[in-house]
Amino acid sequence: MKKILLCLPLFVSAALPPAYAQSPAKPVSGHKCTSSPCGNTATGEDPQEQRIREGELVLDKIRNGDDDQLRWTSIRLYSDSSNPKHLSMPVVKAAGLEMRLNPKLGHLSFSKQGRQQVFSIASPLGSKNSICPQYVIDVVEASAAHALLRMACLKTETAPGRYHMGIEYYLYDFETATMREIWRAAVQDKNAHMPDAKPKPTLKIISNGYRFDWKGVQPSDSPPSITTLHNSYTRSTDKSGVKGLLCTNLSAPKGEGVEDDMCEGGILPLVVKNN
């Protein structure tokens, strides 16, 4: 089985979803008070501070609520956030599956029922020559056993006049403690849009794994081209007893599609596994 080990995120290409998603960056200034106490609100509170506080209350309610899908579309994990509360979220609350980002180490962890699995998804904070120093992670879909994640590398100048921006989609499987990339795209044009996948990737749960079918225009700096993917990711165990997800290109002749070129992407390093 061909295994490509990803040491850090290389690509990103998706417009970030709208909704209530919080940004860690300092908010753009709005109306400022002209007196103290502030006379622009009934409570005397600065209107901008009032909006921020009310927005945080909405996000906290969503983060701690029982609606998983609303949480997936509303909450994101930002690599430059300094608030620990903004670096974790329940993924499937009823199952106890939670996700936490540690930007300082570049680690993304999943925990459930006392078990923890930690993956190296990015370079440690402040690393020199990183092509993805700032990124955002959100959940596309999930169950008690898996999650489909999107990681957006924000535009960064990697060298004078050279830029990088991209999107990566990752499949996480709890049973095999595996996280591997299933779709990616990147652009270097300074004026390009975030190269997200259209349509948005989805997974079908099959016997002993997942199926990924996708057809669309692959964003890049080259002329547009249509990409078609029909891949399965099934749980397997290698000769040394290590479990993982085996990719098979279902469009290839029988017996020839195992970990071939259509199984793009690699496997993230598993740095911690607590059973």
Contacts of 228 (CB under 8 A, 6+ apart): 214, 215, 251
In a domain, 240, yes or no: yes
Q: Is residue 25 a contact partner of residue 82, using CB atoms and an 8 Å limit?
A: no
Domain that holds residue 263: 76-274
Residue 120 Cα to chain centre, angstroms = 13
HSE-CB at 157 with a 13 A cutoff on CA atoms is 3
In a domain, 162, yes or no: yes
Domain count, the chain: 1
What is the DSSP secondary structure assignment for residue 10, as one 8-state letter? -
Q: What is the pLDDT along the chain (275 residues), one digit of tens a residue?
A: 444 455 444 333 334 444 444 545 444 444 556 556 565 666 666 777 777 777 778 888 999 999 999 999 999 999 999 889 899 999 999 999 999 999 999 999 999 999 999 999 999 999 988 999 999 999 999 999 999 999 999 999 998 889 999 999 999 999 999 999 999 999 999 999 999 999 999 999 999 999 999 999 999 999 988 999 999 999 999 999 999 999 999 999 988 999 999 997 889 999 999 87
Contacts of 193 (CB under 8 A, 6+ apart): 15
In a domain, 6, yes or no: no
In a domain, 7, yes or no: no
Whether a cis peptide bond, with omega within 30° of 0, leads into 37 is yes
In a domain, 70, yes or no: no
In a domain, 234, yes or no: yes
In a domain, 180, yes or no: yes
In a domain, 186, yes or no: yes
b/e sequence 10-20, b meaning 16+ C-beta within 10 Å:
bbbbbebbeeb
Which tokens sit at 198? Answer: 């259209």
Q: Is residue 89 a contact partner of residue 62, using CB atoms and an 8 Å limit?
A: no
Phi, psi for 270 (deg, rounded to 5)? -90, 115
Q: Is residue 76 a contact partner of residue 139, using CB atoms and an 8 Å limit?
A: no
